[in-house]
Chains A and B, each alone.
Chain A
Amino acid sequence: MSAPTANTAAPARPPSELGNGAKRARSGPPGEPRKVAYLFILPAFAVYAAFALYPLGKAVYLSFFEWDGLTLGTWAGLSNYTDVLSNERLRGAFLHSLVLIGFYAVIPLVVGLILAAILHRARVWGLGFFRSVVFLPQVVPMVVIAVAWRQLYAPDGSLNSALSGIGLDSLTRGWLGDYDWALPAVGFIGTWFEIGLVTVLMMAGMSRIPTQQYEAARLDGAGPVREFFAVTLPAVRGQISVALTLTVIASLKTFDLIYMTTKGGPGYQTTVPSYEVYRQAFEQGKVGLASAIGVLLTIVIFAISFVITRVGDRDTETS
């Protein structure tokens, strides 16, 4: 299926106040440092600084205080951070994130790689349609996805009827309310959400591998499996690091899904850092603690994406 790519975007109109600056910059040879650049950057940077950079700095500041959001805060030093480590619920939140990384990133990557490799071997009809379909979960609002899966997981939902249908009544349960199964159930929604994205990404990477490489491998007597490890896998290292960056970050920012499905329960079995930020700040009145969790989450996200891109870069350089 190929949809018409209508260009419906209204052309952006630049604000006319910048006209003066543009005139001033007309002199001077190209390539020379240009002051007018600051004028072009100013509006974007101002909004970004005021509504993203400054709040991030403020979050760091608030994380050193004990504050309920109403009365005067008191200096707390690092105690909010030590609380995150010592509080069982908050420690659990970060551990649950690790489990979710498995569901959001690792499983989709392994399955996506295998599926893409199989599909890559033979040209079949309908790949364009397939791509559109498996990518669809990425654009549907997470709130809607949560509504759908809540129904599938419900005690009288499709999953349980399917299990009863094949005689596995003993396995039926209210999945999202089950103490042991709630976290894997939420994680599996992440697998469903990311698997199409990863597969499409891998297929795009594999379509760029020259066929000669496969022919050469076959002349050497390589079977499909050797072919995969010798030719396909090394060629998509870049895509693998992109897929991991996207999915790992998504797994760490999984607020809407938790808010809509389990609210962290049963008990605190499915709570995650992004949900705890909301809960501690706006339900428990612990603004400093919430800020500390947010800061830690940011550090983890920055560190993980830095490491993944570094490793990915090094791999592609040496290959």
Chain B
Amino acid sequence: MRISSGERVANYLILTVFAVFALYPILTILVAAFSKDTQAPGGFANFQQAWEIGRFGRSLLNSVLVSAFVVVTSVVLSVLAGFAFGTMRFRGSSVLFYLMLLGIMMPAEAIVVPLFFDLRAIGLTDTFWAIVLPQVAQSVAFGTFWLRAFFRTSSRALLEAARLDGAGSLRTLWSVLVPQARPAIVTLVVLVFMWTWNEFLIPLVMVPSNEALRTAPLGLSFFSGQYTQGFTLLAAGATIVALPVVIVYLFLQRHFIAGMLEGAVKE
């Protein structure tokens, strides 16, 4: 297309303004995190101080454990279920699938209230399980849907060949389909990790009194409530909490963008 140079310049201007707009709030945090004030020595020492006052060591470890459990469990369960929905015919498959599809849109706000009281009744609140299991349930709904869409496109001929070679369903899945599905599985891993790391409501409600089980976003929320002597250390804490997910994004951004956009398209 023939485009005037004026329009080209205008385009760069738009790109720059928009990028600055998107980055500004994030940079505010980053700049403040390194600056000096009455409580903060400035530089990397801020992070050390925030780390100790906000007890981020504990909450980051919790977030790592919670994310690892939710990611591994929900991806394994989604691969199994997505395989069945995508490649097998069985009675009730569409009813079961639509039931699981509800989970993609179901707001955590609606289920968290009954979940809390039911789990409290059986003594499970304030435990690791109360944080992870509801999140596995929500991630498995999306994961099943996501991998079903992938397995449906997998070649029939390949499946037949595997069967003729005498491979059972599980072997076919494991040695033929899973290697093929690697990109789709990586995308799922990345999305579930991000959702779990950033989840706020479920850990907030499910761990009402066990401080030792707080996840990183929750830790930051309590830190911001208790520590009100200035923005610097709070900004350092915010940086610590956001860093893991931002680093993963920097390396696997294609998976993030593709997953969040295509995941919705396939609905």
| Chain A interfacial positions (CB closer than 8 Å to B) | 3-15, 18-19, 21-23, 25-26, 30-38, 40-41, 43-45, 47-48, 50-53, 55-56, 58-59, 61-62, 69, 115, 118-119, 121-122, 124, 126-127, 130-145, 147-149, 151-152, 158, 192, 195-197, 199-201, 204, 211, 214, 238, 242, 245-246, 249, 252-253, 255-256, 259-260, 273-274, 277-278, 281-282, 287, 290-291, 294-295, 297-298, 301-302, 305, 309
Q: Other CB < 8 Å A-B pairs besides A61-B114, A144-B217, A297-B110, 19 of them?
A: A11-B178, A14-B80, A19-B168, A34-B169, A41-B84, A47-B136, A47-B140, A59-B110, A132-B253, A143-B217, A145-B25, A151-B231, A199-B18, A253-B109, A255-B201, A277-B113, A287-B113, A294-B113, A301-B105
From A36, A287, A298, contact of B107 by CB (8 A): A298
Pairs A–B under 8 Å by Cβ, sample size 15: A5-B252, A5-B255, A9-B186, A12-B75, A12-B178, A13-B76, A14-B173, A55-B134, A124-B8, A131-B257, A141-B216, A141-B220, A246-B264, A255-B109, A259-B200
**Complex Cα–Cα for A14 and B82 (A):** 13
Interface size class of B (residues with CB under 8 A): 35 or more
From B15, B21, B224, B255, contact of A260 by CB (8 A): B224
**7 tightest CB-CB pairs across the interface, nearest first?**
A294-B110, A51-B137, A22-B168, A58-B114, A40-B84, A44-B81, A55-B111
Contact code string B127-171 (vs A, CB < 8 Å = 1, else 0): 000000110111011011000000000001001100100101111
Report A-chain residues with C-beta under 8 Å of the C-beta of B137.
47-48, 50-52
Max count, chain A CB within 10 A of own CB: residue among B7, B137, B224, B249? B137
Asked, given contacts A35-B90, A37-B88, A259-B200, whether A3 binds B103 with beta carbons under 8 Å apart, the answer is no
**Complex Cα–Cα for A109 and B113 (A):** 33
Closest Cβ neighbor of B72 among chain A residues:
A12
B22 to chain A minimum Cβ distance, whole angstroms, is 5
Q: Is B53 an interface residue (CB 8 A)?
A: no
